Homo-oligomer: A and B are copies of this chain.
């Protein structure tokens, strides 16, 4: 009865094919322009076939959403070696901002768009998000223990840090930073200066 296993494997391969095509199209032309029909065209199947492997468009983008969290996580974990928790926090923050600025479509899907959240609502917990957020929590916890940052409630501090970096990136990604009326590269510099100031204010 190895046929069932092969079929299962083929089913997974088809899912991967769809996800790969969808990811590529999404990063090239954004969410709205990545239609089910355009994915179907790309993989040379009919649009209806996609619905044999995914419930709806949101489910496809939920998988891409999960993959994006893995990528961000890998970036953030690079700083595991930094012994000083405050300097590790600084590195994590800079990397988070850099990821957002360089991967605006991924960032949008992860933290701004409503689409993938419809899937998550019905889950026991937001695993991917909890992972990255958990990493922030442990780092901040160390900072507090070693009195490297101003004493305050851990969760309240975590929300403050995350909200700030998310605010920076999302205002940039959704084109609200134009009120500064600066060239794009200068805006990025101001963003990082703002992060430096935030970190300085956080310090004991």
Contact = CB atoms under 8 A, between A and B. Distances in A.
Given A125-B181, A126-B179, A201-B201, A162 B171 contact: yes
Contacts of A129: 176, 179
B159 A194 contact: yes
A178 B111 contact: no
- Chain A contact residues: over half helix, strand or loop, or mixed? helix
A125 B164 CA distance: 25
B117 A174 contact: yes
B194 A160 contact: yes
A163 B174 contact: no
B201 A114 contact: no
Interface residues of A, number: 46
A193 interface: yes
Contacts of A198: 160, 164
A159 to B, nearest CB: 4
B179 A133 contact: yes
A197 B123 CA distance: 31
